[in-house]
Structure 1
Amino acid sequence: MNSLQTLNKRMRRTVFNYVKRHLSSEIERQNEIFTNEKSRQRQAVGRIEKISINYEGPQPESNEVLIMNKNISTPFDCARHLGDTVSNMSVVALLNGETLWHMHKPIPDTCKLQFLHYQSPNPVLVNKTFWRSCSFLMGAVVSQAFKDNIKLHLHSFPSPNVKSGSFVYDVQLELEDWKPTASELKVLSLEMIKFCQKELPIEHLDVSKDVAFEIFKENPHKTKQIPDIAENNDDKVTLFRAGTHIDISKGPMIPNTNHMGRITIANVIKLNTDIPDGHIYRFQGVALPRSLILNHFAYGLLEDRAKLLNPARIPGSQVVDNEDNSFVASMTA
């Protein structure tokens, strides 16, 4: 038996779904709601008003005033006016020197605009944005990785904490005591790499509670989280979409999956929780932005650390968990 046949035989023994399917009716339903709501909000803008965006570049001579469209133009649109270098490097926008802003989120009024990137003098905000995006994208891959007969619900992911050593997504799986093999973790990592290589823009959309409930009505964890999120977010729920994957997060995210470089899903650990109707597994990973290079030995140390149980709060039935456990946290904290 050749090596390819051996690999295929091993893959058939795993819990993963390696046959690429057409979109499920549930995913199609969610995306139809998201797309229609995004179109409705765009049409509701009505008469186009102009606003002045005062771009503050890394050097005073690069400063520029851009005339853009209120509630339509995004920081990414502004970056494209400034050239490919700016648009390709920018990770997240900073409005008026204090508010982090997703690159694809419409700008509501005249403001000062800066762009943060991976080589920024103070990379904390960029690192958090990247780490949060890693959790979001891992959720996208995990939600589609398992066979149809295995019940799965994405639960939540904690606020990004680079110092913890891994990005995380807690997932409810109808598996009694799954301990993934090294080959299964490798396959999950490769699936996440392939997903990111599609160069998908990560869209942003604020929706009402009713719309959020309709999108996530099949996920008992998300529906439980929505009221608390909306209560602390001006009665809105913030959604992000990459490809066909939609999830809840306060954001911001990286603007495109092509920002992702090396990726490893390092471990999956079953958690001890009292959540009924399934078992909660903590998926943990480590990644680097595409623009950052690290030697094999140093990256291996990061992978080893990411295998250890992430110390983030373990979800329970008595607490409504969502990212950061609160939408009140400051974007720039």
Structure 2
Amino acid sequence: MAAATKLLKKSLGAFTQIQQCRSNANLSASTSVGQRNELFNQEQRRQRDAVGRIEKIEVRYLGLPEDVTLIMNNNISTPFNCAQHLSEGHCKRSALALVDGSVPWDMHRPLQESCTLQLLNFNISEPHVVNKAFWRTCSFMLGAALQRAFRQEANLQLHSFPGPNIKSGSFVHDIVLGVQNWVPTKAEMRAISAEMVKLAAQDLRIERLEVDHELAKEMFKDSRYKSEQLPSIAQQNQSRVTLYRLGEHIDISRGPMVASTRFLGKCTVSAAHKLANEGPSSAFYRIQGVALPIGFALNHLAYGLLEQRAQKLNSARMPNEPFEEQRQMQLS
């Protein structure tokens, strides 16, 4: 009896220690996210304060109901602010902007000089640019959904997502998990898909911020793979790194992305492919999905074909290949 009691106490002690370790790990992850967001907020405020004397610019809006010239604030006003001067419908429909007829521009990114402006939605006659931004945004959202879906003990680490290639049939996010034999169930895939849908329902504004290399290193010092990618990215962009944020999730991407998570409609996270082992107990996985913009509907059979296609391994650059930002830029 005494031996059994001693064994029970020992087991309870071990259990308490495990719980404490998990609690500490969760706290550490939460602290890292909080610190990253605080640095993002500080730099965002610093850049706004640095604008100084406000200068006016002319923004020539081209589109329905008619062309019009707007007087806006340089380095403060965004395409979304321009849409607010037009109508509520423009604010709701516009997913992306086009500056001077050729430069895709985030809806919440301040304009930097007088320009022409077009507001893009998914029903325009040439939707290629906005579709690529949507596909890129889906990958970004998938990273946020994966972080929400996995428990801390899974040791999830986000790697990167390759440039959007709509012809591939799937958007992608590469990750590392602390397990080498994960074969996801249908329930697990549905759970990740549900997190994507939850993000869409929250209508989270997608923010863009360009920072210097040193600040980016500080923000991602707890992320091995982001830290490894940063020097190459900064080298290609004059020591600058472009970040995006939705909610508390921050990641690296050259963009552009659509204005809000609400533009995501029907969505399925369809496959998880193991790519390679990473060390003695971890492995790279490629998570893939397919989605439609909000307001688009397909019958069950047609959408099912898209889901089947999205299950095939996407042939984009593998995460264990050398990271080449210039090649990524050309692809996306």
Q: If the length of structure 2 is used for normalisation, what is the TM-score?
A: 0.88
Give 1:304's aligned amino acid.
Answer: Q
Distance 1:275 1:325 in 2: 27
Change (3 A) 1:143 1:99: same
Q: Residue 252 in 1 paired to residue 256 in 2? A: yes
Taking the TM superposition and a 5 Å limit, the aligned residue runs for 1:26-41 are: 26-41=32-47
Number of residue pairs matched by the alignment: 307
Change (3 A) 1:325 1:173: farther
Moved over 4 A (4+): 273-277
Query: In the alignment, which of 158, 177, 180 is matched to residue 176 of structure 1?
Result: 180
Please identify the structure whose Cα radius of gyration is greater: 2
Unaligned runs of 5+ in 1: 1-16
Query: In the alignment, which of 52, 55, 61 is matched to residue 46 of structure 1?
Result: 52
1:263-292 deviations in Å (ceiling 9; x for gaps): 100011110366787311000000001121
How many percent identity over aligned positions?
46
Query: In the alignment, which of 254, 265, 271 is matched to residue 275 of structure 2?
Result: 271
Query: In the alignment, which of 85, 94, 101 is matched to residue 89 of structure 2?
Result: 85
**Higher helix proportion:** 2
Change (3 A) 1:235 1:276: farther
Query: In the alignment, which of 320, 325, 332 is matched to residue 323 of structure 2?
Result: 320
- The answer (yes or no) to whether the contact 2:80–2:107 under 8 Å persists in 1 is yes
SS at match of 1:272: strand
1:146-186 deviations in Å (ceiling 9; x for gaps): 11112121101111011101000000111111000011101
Taking the TM superposition and a 5 Å limit, the aligned residue runs for 1:1-333 are: 24-58=30-64, 62-272=66-276, 278-316=282-320, 319-320=322-323, 325-327=327-329, 329=330
Distance 1:97 1:79 in 2: 17
Distance 2:97 2:279 in 1: 38
Give 2:101's aligned amino acid.
Answer: G
- The answer (yes or no) to whether the contact 1:74–1:106 under 8 Å persists in 2 is yes
SS at match of 1:138: helix
The alpha-carbon deviation at position 57 of structure 1 amounts to 0.6
Distance 2:120 2:281 in 1: 43
- The answer (yes or no) to whether the contact 2:79–2:109 under 8 Å persists in 1 is yes
Distance 1:110 1:55 in 2: 11
Change (3 A) 1:171 1:321: farther
Distance 1:81 1:297 in 2: 42
- The answer (yes or no) to whether the contact 2:156–2:176 under 8 Å persists in 1 is yes
Change (3 A) 1:202 1:174: same
Give 2:42's aligned amino acid.
Answer: N
Distance 2:280 2:107 in 1: 38
- The answer (yes or no) to whether the contact 1:229–1:326 under 8 Å persists in 2 is no
SS at match of 1:25: helix
Please report the RMSD computed on the Cα atoms of aligned residues, expressed in angstroms: 2.0
The alpha-carbon deviation at position 325 of structure 1 amounts to 4.2
Distance 2:169 2:328 in 1: 22
1:104-134 deviations in Å (ceiling 9; x for gaps): 1110000011111101111111110000000
Change (3 A) 1:232 1:62: same
- The answer (yes or no) to whether the contact 2:83–2:90 under 8 Å persists in 1 is yes
- The answer (yes or no) to whether the contact 1:263–1:288 under 8 Å persists in 2 is yes
- Where does residue 9 of structure 2 map in the other structure? none
Q: If the length of structure 1 is used for normalisation, what is the TM-score?
A: 0.88
